[in-house]
Structure 1
């Protein structure tokens, strides 16, 4: 059996605040095989983004500390790496797609300049070679008229186009793993589907493994073969997407699934206000959680 590309083992992350210690991630274990797409699902505050950003060592504040566990990537524990060594891994071997493309891009530089900078930072190539690679990356993400977009600034592009650029930057050095943190949240439904289809195409063409952080089961069902459900920093359930979505075992997952809009309801169910119905079902399911844990 092949080794997993990414193996997060009993990860623990605490935030040391003025009000005390917050246990953001509690003994979380997740594996990702080469070429696999896994969804990491949970409500806000579940610890899913903290888990994914821990892989890159980008928790963003000295108050956040990894207190235990291991993050094994290609057989090496990233928690043992120095900051200099991690800079060589970020971008080159693990790419990051953030949810807010406008804040991820520098408004002062053109799209081409930002792509070229990333490529030259991680690869020993000249400016002209980097320019060609940058153009190839924009072509890979199917950005319209990529040569012209190289000269554009972020504000000149639409939301969907900016997200394609962020993905192009993340893929510029052809990393083996892509971390996508809510990559479609700020986009309308049509553009969301285009971005998800793009991620699927990248996975098929390049064999890039993808960990998608999301709160949306629609995203999971569309692109993920495996899914992990988190709540309050812990893993509630994990398995194949089909198994978890069709027959969720944990009451919390069942509660999340009950909140997914249903297109076909009988007249009696439709008569109950949707917010009241979901709240009642959710409380009933989650109240059983103490009996099953």
Structure 2
């Protein structure tokens, strides 16, 4: 079980690194308005790892993408809220200022590394472009920093991989490259959207351990979007549980996993596969071991 980080928000005496207040996001579709995110409040302290967990369609990714204005469609509308990063409201920033923050102060790790990388560019070219966009370095210095980033994420034979193309790397190696890209300028916050979804179990653990080591070594705060409470247990200091666009429960990860307060959170925790089932649990037909249907979203739980 992951133990709470000493820098978790509320213990440092300083304000939160990221403070999302009353965030609502709507999508205007041909069949009507979809309320994807509704009145979400989140805070992440310096060095904290916050897990944003819930089933598919709960609004997790939309929330994380809204932080950096990456919703990617004109049909999306942020209808309320503030997103404060180091006290600065990201929703009021001019595009150039927001673009400058992306990569330099807030990094993004997508869930599909192959689609995030340009197949016609080498790994070195990807990294050098990001570094030179945000830092005043010549090409040689940027390439040296690119190598340092690959070594940070423990990519084997990093110097040779600078000359490799994405298709020449395994899935786990590509995910390490995407993390290296996000960390190239040493941002204070990392947004990781299901970073292990497309990987097998062994590589998943390696990537999660990598995120933990980066958090410990660099003090990088992480907003980790996931549907897996096993990941939350392994990686996160705190957790927020989302369903139908709302945060239903939030608190220290260990406390929520040990004693979930909201019925939906309890159902999610109980749905986590276990190697050892009791005699009574084994007697329940597999098709009935499902999350119950909640007909109405209740109020949130937790601070």
TM bucket, shorter chain:
over 0.9
Deviations 1:199-245 (CA, angstroms, capped at 9, x unpaired): 00000100000000000001100010000000000000000001111
Match of 1:41 in 2: 53
Give the direction of change, closer, same or farther, for the CA distance of 1:197–1:237 in structure 2 (3 Å limit).
Answer: same
1:79 is aligned to 91
1:60 positional shift = 0.6
Out of 113, 116, 122, the position equivalent to 2:128 is 116
User: Alignment length, in residue pairs?
Assistant: 289
2:24 to 9, 12, 15: 12
Q: 2:182 aligns with which of 166, 170, 174?
A: 170
Pick from 183, 202, 221 the counterpart of residue 195 of structure 2. 183
Give the Cα–Cα distance (whole angstroms) in 2 for the partners of residues 30 and 68 of structure 1. Answer: 14
- Deviations along 1:162-216, one digit per CA (max 9) or x if unpaired, are 0000000000000000000000000000000000000000001000000000000
Q: Is the 8 A contact 2:248 2:299 kept in 1?
A: no
Q: Which residue of 1 aligns with 2:104?
A: 92
Query: What is the match of residue 214 of structure 2?
Result: 202
Q: Distance in 2 between the 1:204 and 1:103 partners?
A: 29
Q: Which residue number in structure 1 is paired with residue 6 of structure 2?
A: none
Cross-structure match for 2:166: 154
- Measured in 2, the distance between the counterparts of 1:69 and 1:287 equals 27
The offset of 1:273, in angstroms, is 1.8
Structure 1: stretches of 5+ with no match in the other structure = none
Q: Deviations over 1:125-174 (max 9, x none)?
A: 10000000000000000000000000000000000000000000000000
Under a length normalisation based on structure 2, what TM-score does the superposition of the two structures give?
A: 0.93
Q: Report how far residue 262 of structure 1 moved.
A: 2.1
How far apart in 2 are the matches of 1:160 and 1:210? 19
Q: Distance in 2 between matches of 1:291 and 1:41?
A: 17
Q: Which runs of 4+ in 1 moved over 3 A?
A: 286-293
Instruction: Find out whether 1:61 has 2:57 as its counterpart.
Output: no
Is 1:238 aligned to 2:250, yes or no?
yes
CA-atom RMSD, angstroms?
1.5
C-alpha distance in structure 2 between counterparts of 1:277 and 1:95, whole Å: 38
- Partners in 1 of 2:86 and 2:299 — Cα distance? 39
Report the structure, 1 or 2, having the larger helix content: 1
> Which residue in the other structure is 1:224 paired with?
236
1:234-280, CA deviations, whole angstroms, 9 ceiling, x for partnerless residues?
0000000011111000011111112111222223321322221335x
Q: Distance in 2 between matches of 1:254 and 1:179?
A: 26
| Aligned residue number for residue 288 of structure 2 | 276
Secondary structure at the aligned position of 1:16 is classed as strand
Q: Is the 8 A contact 2:271 2:289 kept in 1?
A: no
Q: By how many angstroms is 1:290 displaced?
A: 5.7
Q: Please list every run of 5 or more consecutive structure 2 residues that lacks an aligned counterpart in the other structure.
A: 1-12
C-alpha distance in 2, partners of 1:255/1:179?
A: 26
Paired residues of 2:104 and 2:186 also in contact (CA < 8 A): yes
Q: Secondary structure at the match of 1:91?
A: helix
Shift of 1:121: 0.6
